[in-house]
Amino acid sequence: MTAFEEFGCLPEISKAIDELEWTLPTDIQAEGIPLVLGGGDVLMAAETGSGKTAAFCLPIIQIVWETLKDIESGKTGGGTSVSPAWTMSIMDRGSALAVASDGLRVQSREFKEWHGVRCTRGVSTGKWGYEATVTDEGLCRVGWSTLQANLDLGTDRFGFGFGGTGKKSNNKQFDNYGEPFGKSDVITCLYDGDNGEIRFLKNGTDLGPAFKLNKQQLNTAYFPAVVLKNAEMSFNFGDKPFKHSLPPNYSPVISAPKEKVSTNTNAQNSSSQTAKIINNAPQAIIIEPSRELAEQTYNQIRNFKKFLESPKIRDLLVIGGVNVKEQISFLQQTGADIIVGTPGRLEDLIQGGYLSLANCRFFVLDEADGLLKQGYTDFIERLHRQMPKITADGKRLQMIVCSATLHAFEVKKMAEKLMHFPTWVDLKGEDAVPETVHHVVVKVDPQQDKSWITLRRRIPTDGVHAQDNVKPGMNTPEALSEAVKLLKGEYCVRAIDEHKWSAPSSSVAPRTTATTWKST
Ligand SMILES: Nc1ncnc2c1ncn2[C@@H]1O[C@H](COP(=O)(O)OP(=O)(O)OP(=O)(O)O)[C@@H](O)[C@H]1O
């Protein structure tokens, strides 16, 4: 087993890494890969050249490929992920609320707003109950609601909740009831559709009637419902034994006969949702602040995925300076599972309806501090809003943010707003760059040093601006980017000559070799 396989990478990916002659993961890879594979949101900072790109690309490639394989073999979708039939709905829920793949555990890490969810099924006549257990600290309110109720349970006429602070609420009226509850407490929620009553038990102790329902209110079905603020709860609708027995004559909701059960129509198709491959709806979107970085990341992805067959992962580079029609026709005809791009062109394709975010489950911001400084905060937030927080097959949107520093105010603010309990991997300042790498600091200013005009013949660059109209004397961003590369190449060659460093055979000496100069 290779070192990368020990960190959870597939043998096919590990083989591609072997070909690159990487023997061990770098520190950021050793920390980042298992975190992303484990399903978490990750914020990472490490020195330039520490291998950040592979730290997020490798696990994303792996999960995207496994998902494609599952779709191909018909393994994903409602049939398996939304079972049993009584589950919390992945459709009828607040945007920041996550429903686990079995539909029996829900979590919201939003600590400023309440986010709720309703069950896929409800009951009408009869006496029914279910159990809700508080599995993490936070605020929660649990109970019953009709399909008309909003998801903030207890704040309109149609929802009836019991909250952890020891209050019952309906129609925004909060009254003392029972006693407070918290982590590990089990709340039994009881609905009596025959006598028009809702009551609760705490750890098996009956807290007495909470709400009386009149005839008109009983004309409709009641659904288990919960609303959370930075909290987590798990549910048992009766497919396992209850922790505390129900009072006499009550039965678990799961045993309600068909004629007494209503389906959650707010959650249309939720029980038959199937993950599908849609050509223009990728599973991963990676945003880079410059064309050069986008191209580098894209090339790394191509290297890493080369041994992953049936299905093949489809990738697309979406950057400016390339004919947009080609990108559109690639999306329509071949399709893409992973897209690496820069904000401007991504925005054009999304706005034009050519690129859909409906299947996106990885949202990566590389060099996020750079993106935010360039004014893309609104763009990032808009994309995030459009992405489903849980995909059709029940997978949570994962966000990965790389930044030169995790302590920048804008990065922290964005992480707080958009990310879901991210793990911080902060290796900034730690020496992650091998000793064989020499650092050279030179001031590069192509507007002062015009020597790049003559260097064009002998310093080869990465060609990112090959299609652009880059001419000596021009001050366009493309011309200056090209000029910086030429000057960096020249200064490095001079530094090597000056210090008589040895350079690997494929590297910089002599100055006419194939090394291409990039902007990083
Ligand atoms: N585990 C590894 N073993 C050997 N070489 C590696 C390893 N991981 C990455 N590299 C190489 O190290 C170099 C830097 O990697 P990479 O570009 O991913 O770093 P980065 O942290 O993303 O840099 P930047 O901040 O410039 O984007 C690349 O040439 C890459 O091929």
Residue nearest to atom 23 of ligand 1 (CA): 49
Residue 25: is its pLDDT beyond 60?
yes
Asked whether the whole model's pTM tops 0.95, one would answer no
Give the pLDDT of residue 299.
96
Residue 208 parent element (H or E): strand 205-212
What ligand 1 atom has the least distance to the C-alpha of 293?
27
| C-beta of 292 in contact with ligand 1 (< 6 A) | no
Pair 143, 276: CB distance under 8 Å: no
Q: Is the pLDDT of residue 76 over 90?
A: no
CA separation for the pair 200, 198 (Å, rounded): 7
pLDDT given at position 367: 93
Regarding the beta carbon of 48 and ligand 1, being less than 6 Å apart is answered yes
pLDDT band at 145 (very low <50, low <70, confident <90, very high): very high
Question: In the prediction, which pLDDT does 450 show?
Answer: 80
Scanning the structure block, which residue is given the tokens 């602070």? 165
Predicted local confidence at residue 490, as pLDDT: 84
List, in order, residues 6 or more apart from 407 with CB less than 8 Å away: none
Q: How far apart are the first and last CA of the chain?
A: 33
How far is ligand 1, taken at its centre, from the CA of residue 22, in Å? 10
Contact status, residue 298 vs residue 324, Cβ threshold 8 Å: no
* Buried-state track 324-333, b at ≥16 Cβ within 10 A, e below 16: eeebbebbee
pLDDT value of position 251: 97
Q: How high is the ipTM of this complex?
A: 0.95
Q: How confident is the model at residue 431 (pLDDT cuts 50, 70, 90)?
A: low
Tell me the average pLDDT across 86-98. Answer: 84
Q: What ligand 1 atom has the least distance to the C-alpha of 24?
A: 1
Would you say 365 and 402 are in contact if contact means Cβ atoms under 8 Å apart? yes
Is residue 441 over pLDDT 50? Answer: yes
Sheet containing strand 88-93, strands side by side: 88-93, 115-119, 223-229, 139-145, 159-163, 167-170, 173-176
| pLDDT band with cut points at 50, 70 and 90 for residue 498 | confident
Percent share of the chain, pLDDT over 70 = 88
What is the pLDDT averaged over residues 134-163? 95
| DSSP secondary structure of 229-284 | ESEEEEEESSSS--SSPPPTT-EEGGG--GGGEEE-GGGTTGGG------TT--SE
- The DSSP string of 400-440 is EEE-S-S--HHHHHHHHHH-SSPEEEE-TTS--S-TTPPP-
Q: Which of 108-122, 191-205, 421-435 has the lowest mean pLDDT?
A: 421-435
Q: What is the mean pLDDT of the chain?
A: 86
d(CA 369, CA 356): 25
pLDDT in tens, 452-474: 777 777 777 877 776 676 776 77
Q: Which of 22-36, 104-118, 274-288, 399-413 has the highest mean pLDDT?
A: 22-36
Predicted local distance difference test score (pLDDT) of residue 509: 40
- The three-class DSSP label of residue 151 is coil
pLDDT band at 515 (very low <50, low <70, confident <90, very high): low
- Per-residue model confidence (pLDDT) at position 56: 96
Gap between the Cα atoms of 54 and 36, Å rounded: 12
Residue 8: the pLDDT is 86
Distances (CA, A) of 494 to 73, 305, 442, 487, 500: 57, 37, 11, 10, 10
* Mean pLDDT value of segment 175-200: 97
- 444 Cα–ligand 1 center, Å: 23
> In ligand 1, which atom is closest to the CA atom of 26?
1
**Stretch 224-245: mean pLDDT, rounded?**
95
Q: Distance between CA 31 and CA 17 in Å, rounded?
A: 17
Q: Is the dihedral of CA 120, 121, 122, 128 positive or negative?
A: negative
Contact 220, 123 (CB under 8 A): no
**pLDDT at 190 (0 to 100):** 98
Q: Is the pLDDT of residue 323 over 70?
A: yes
Res 437 pLDDT > 80: no
- Tell me: pLDDT of 211 over 60: yes
Task: Tell me the per-residue pLDDT of 34-60, one tens digit each, with 9 for 90 and over.
Answer: 999 988 899 998 887 889 999 999 999
Nearest-atom number in ligand 1 for the CA of 296 is: 17
| Residue with the larger pLDDT of the pair 331 and 496 | 331
Beta carbon of 49 within 6 Å of any ligand 1 atom: yes
What pLDDT is attached to residue 430? 58
The beta-strand segments (E) located in 284-388 are 284-287, 315-318, 338-341, 362-365
Of all protein residues, the one whose alpha carbon is nearest to atom 13 of ligand 1 is 49
| Residue whose entry in the numeric block shows the structure tokens 């000496």 | 509
- Residue 52 beta carbon below 6 angstroms from any ligand 1 atom: yes
Tell me if 289 CB under 6 Å of ligand 1.
no
> What does R_g of the chain's alpha carbons equal in angstroms?
28
Name the residue with the closest Cα to ligand 1, atom 1: 25
Whether the CB of 50 sits within 6 Å of ligand 1: yes
Report residue 159's pLDDT band, with 50, 70 and 90 as the boundaries: very high
pLDDT digits (tens, 9 = 90+) for 219-228: 999 999 999 9
Q: Domains in the chain and their CATH numbers?
A: 3-76+270-426 (3.40.50.300), 88-263 (2.60.120.920), 437-519 (no CATH)
For ligand 1, atom 29, which residue shows the shortest CA distance? 49
For residue 439, pLDDT beyond 80: no
